[in-house]
Amino acid sequence: MELNMLGAYGPWAAALQGDAPGELSLRNPRWDDLEVWQAAAHERIRQRLAAPTVPGVPEVTVERQYAYDGLIIEELSWQLPYGPRTQALLLKPENASGKLPAIMALHDHGGNKFFGRQKITRTGDERHPLMVAHQDRYYSGLAWANEIAKRGYVVLVHDAFPFASRRMLLADVPEVIRGGLTDPAWEDAEGIARYNEWASNHESEVAKSLFSAGTTWPGVWLTDDQQALSVLCARQEVDATRVGCCGLSGGGMRTTFLAGVDKRITCAVCVGMMTTWRDYVLHKSYTHTWMVYVPLLANDIDYPEILGLRAPKPTLVLNDIEDQLFTMPEMERADTILSEVYAKANASDAYRCSFYPGPHKFDREMQAEAFAWLDQWLQ
């Protein structure tokens, strides 16, 4: 028996889904009409996600506007019906005119809930040391949202539940939950580390509470991201027919759900977050948060097929060969699944998957391919 996280139960658990396509997989022979399949699959995933309903476009406040490094940067905020006010950054080239294509730049998880939008942006010469280290580790020292904006895009980066402005404050939970901790100041690196450790351990309670409330963590994320997408598409300088999304890790998972579900996303780039349910069952759920799991969805489609719901729209997947979050065989299996989905949709040219050496990251070379792909389909 192959060693796995469930021991003697592993083979049984993996066999529950088997190798055959799920009921709502486009690879299932029962589906021969793309539009009929998409309608059925979208309805099922909507039911499984049980995302909170938020009607309309949020009322947005522009808190501040300034120029930096060839960009105009706006600090935005809006209030959803639940949780703290969302803070976001909108970046666009100086002296741009006319309607521009747009990018939803989705920040990562990174075991760091104290920060959100700051992970992939740069708004001044003075930067938080923890964010300097974060960008050095995962992004070749680059603020990739800034870099793509310079190529002629309007880019929105917002804090997702429960990160940065949307994080859960220790002051708002009972003492038995916070264990004597208090909310850290911005400059308190040790306090931030303690907060992030607490927030990581607190994920189980959050997930159980969300399930008990009749929703899911990916569902809440999807609503947050769709509301931000509505904000972006409503901008007068944005061509809402040319909108892409991209993100690493947690941002890659958010890309998978947002691009898979929301037809407004023209082009998608998922980085460092593509595998199969089998990988989670047997090998790698311990390396992931509660944010990826949708009860019973595995009965319908495999994990990569969430992103495949967008076929035939253009989709790029970037993987790291030594990524510690996944096994190589299951990353390759995910590529095979998506290739088959796009082939059946007669859109093989609209799907690409690349593998890069190294651990979990979205480095300079990967960014170059991602940006070229977005340019190809949006510019």
What structural domains and CATH numbers belong to the chain?
A: 61-169+214-378 (3.40.50.1820)
Burial class (CB in 10 A: 0-12, 13-18, 19+), 322: exposed
Which pLDDT score, from 0 to 100, does residue 313 have? 98
228, 104 Cβ separation under 8 angstroms: yes
Which pLDDT score, from 0 to 100, does residue 135 have? 98
Which pLDDT score, from 0 to 100, does residue 1 have? 77
Burial class (CB in 10 A: 0-12, 13-18, 19+), 348: middle
- In sequence order, the 6+-apart residues with CB closer than 8 A to the CB of 123 are 68, 73, 89
Distance CA 379, CA 374 (A): 8
Which pLDDT score, from 0 to 100, does residue 375 have? 98
Which pLDDT score, from 0 to 100, does residue 242 have? 98
- What is the identity of the amino acid at 83? G
Take residue 249 and report the two structure tokens written for it: 């890790």
Which pLDDT score, from 0 to 100, does residue 18 have? 85
CB atoms within 10 A of CB 90: 25
pTM: 0.97
pLDDT, averaged in runs of 10, over the chain (379 residues):
92 90 95 95 96 94 97 98 97 94 98 98 97 98 98 98 97 94 96 97 95 96 97 98 98 98 98 96 91 94 97 98 97 98 98 98 98 98
The candidate with the shortest Cα–Cα distance to 239, out of 271, 264, 203, is: 264
